[in-house]
Amino acid sequence: MKILAINPGSTSTKMAVFEDTTPVLTLSLRHSVEDLEPFPKVIDQFDFRKNLILKALADNGIPFEFDAVVGRGGLLRPIPGGVYEVNDAMIADIRKVRRSHACNLGCLIARDLADELGCKAFIADPGVVDELDEIARVTGSPLMPRTTTWHALNQRAIGRRFAAEQSALRGERLRYEDFNLIICHLGGGISIGAHKDGKAIDVNNAFDGEGPFSPERAGSLPSGSLIDLCFSGRYSKDELKKRISGKAGLAAHLGTTHIPEILERIENGDDYARLVLDAMIYQIAKHIASLGPVFYGKVDAILITGGIAYSDYVISRLKERISYMAPVHVYPGEDELEALALNALGALKGELPVQVYTQKKAKPLPCAEPQLN
C-alpha cells in the first residue's frame, strides 16, 4: 500500500512516501522567515504548504496516487491515543483552536489531498493525547487541573521500538504494553511520560507551562512571581506567552537554542552557559526521577529520544543522575514520518482500530469547581 505522510513544523514541512513499510521518498521542505512572512496566521499557510508538497511529488516523479494520506495531528481537544480518520468534526475544531502551531495544518492538508484522491485521511497520536490517571490530574487548585500537550507520536513509537528490540534479544514476543517505561523526548520542548499498559498515565504539559525548562520553553515557574509579573504592567499577555513558550528556556538565558553552539561557548570558558545547560539537565533528571513513584519504583527502562539526545555532553550527565532507577536506552533524533506511516498502514490493514473524533467535551474533574468555606 502507498502512503503519503505529512508533518508540518514551524520552519519546515516534512513529508515521506511509503510503499508499505519501505520509505520511497523523504524530504524536509524548509521555510524561511521571508517565505512565511506574508501569512498573518499559521492556518493561512495552508495553500502554500499544500502546493509545496504537490510540487515536491511532481519534481521527484512520484505519481499522485495513494491509498491513504496521514498528517501530524493538531492541538485539538484532549483525546485518547491511537489512529483517527479525519472527519468533519475534527476539521471544524482545528479551524477554531486557540493554540496556534504548524501541526494544526497536518489534518487539514491530509484531508484536502485525500478528498482529491478519493482515499482515507488519518492522524495518529497527536500532541493532545490525554490518558492521565485521574489522580495525576489533581493540583492544589480546583481551578487548574493538569492537562497535557506532549510528543505522543514519537514517545509511543520509541516505546514500540524498544519492545521490538527486547523481543529479539529475549527470543519471546513482547509488546510496548508489557513494560513500565519512562520516555523522555528532548527537543525544542521537553516531554517526559510514564507509560504503563500502553498508556501515558502521567506526562507533563511540554507546550506552555510544566516540567523542566527546554531550549524554547520555560517549564514550571514560581507561581507567585509569575502572577506578580502578569500584573506588573511591563508586558502584554502575548509578550508573556512568548516568555513561557518561544522566547524562554535556553533562548531566554543564552540567546540561542542550538546545543552545539552552547557547547562551543562552554569550551571557550563561558561559565554562565555551562550553568544554564547543566541546570536544564538537572531539571530533566529531577522530572524523570519524579515519575518513579508512578510505578511504585518498578521501572523497566528509561528511554531518551529527540534531537538533543545526539549530545554526549547532555546524555552523559543525565545518565549520571538517573541510571540508578533503571537501564537507560538512548534513541537520538525522531522518526515521526515513519510512525505516521506505520499507523496509517495498520489502520488500512485492520491491524489497528480506527477511532472516531467527536466534538464532545472532556469529562470535568470532580473537583473542578472551587469549594468555599
Residue 101's pLDDT band (boundaries 50, 70, 90)?
confident
Give, as one character, the DSSP assignment of residue 171: T
Query: Is residue 107 classed as helix, strand or coil in its secondary structure?
Result: helix
Residue 373's pLDDT band (boundaries 50, 70, 90)?
very low
According to the model, what pLDDT value does residue 361 have? 57
Domains in the chain, CATH or no CATH each: 1-144+335-360 (3.30.420.40), 152-333 (3.30.420.40)
Per-residue model confidence as pLDDT tens digits over 308-345:
999 999 999 999 999 999 999 999 998 899 999 999 99
Instruction: Classify the C-alpha dihedral 46-59-124-10 as positive or negative.
Output: negative
Grid coordinates belonging to 242 = 512568548
Grid coordinates belonging to 199 = 498508556
Task: Report residue 306: phi and psi, to 5°.
Answer: 95, 170
Helices (H), the chain: 33-36, 46-59, 88-94, 105-117, 134-137, 152-170, 223-230, 237-244, 250-254, 259-267, 271-290, 312-322, 336-348
According to the model, what pLDDT value does residue 33 have? 78
Alpha carbon separation from 318 to 72, 221, 228, 258, 280 (Å, rounded): 30, 22, 33, 18, 10
According to the model, what pLDDT value does residue 137 have? 97
Residue 368 has pLDDT above 60, yes or no: no
Per-residue model confidence as pLDDT tens digits over 227-270:
999 999 999 998 999 899 888 999 999 999 999 999 999 999 99
Residue 372 has pLDDT above 50, yes or no: no
According to the model, what pLDDT value does residue 191 have? 97
Answer yes or no: pTM beyond 0.75.
yes
Q: Please name the amino acid found at residue 349.
A: K
Per-residue model confidence as pLDDT tens digits over 43-73:
999 999 999 999 999 999 999 999 999 999 8
Per-residue model confidence as pLDDT tens digits over 72-90:
988 999 999 999 999 999 9
According to the model, what pLDDT value does residue 370 have? 39
Per-residue model confidence as pLDDT tens digits over 112-154:
999 999 999 999 999 999 999 999 999 999 999 999 999 999 9
Q: Tell me what the pLDDT averaged over the chain comes to.
A: 93
The torsion angle over the Cα atoms of residues 350, 151, 260 and 241, rounded to 10 degrees, is: 150
Per-residue model confidence as pLDDT tens digits over 197-229:
999 999 999 988 899 999 999 999 999 999 999
Contact 131, 199 (CB under 8 A): yes
The DSSP-derived string for 173-230 is ---GGGS-EEEEEESSSEEEEEEETTEEEEE--TTTT-SS--SSB--S--HHHHHHHH
Residue 285 has pLDDT above 90, yes or no: yes
Query: Is residue 234 classed as helix, strand or coil in its secondary structure?
Result: coil
Contact 72, 126 (CB under 8 A): yes
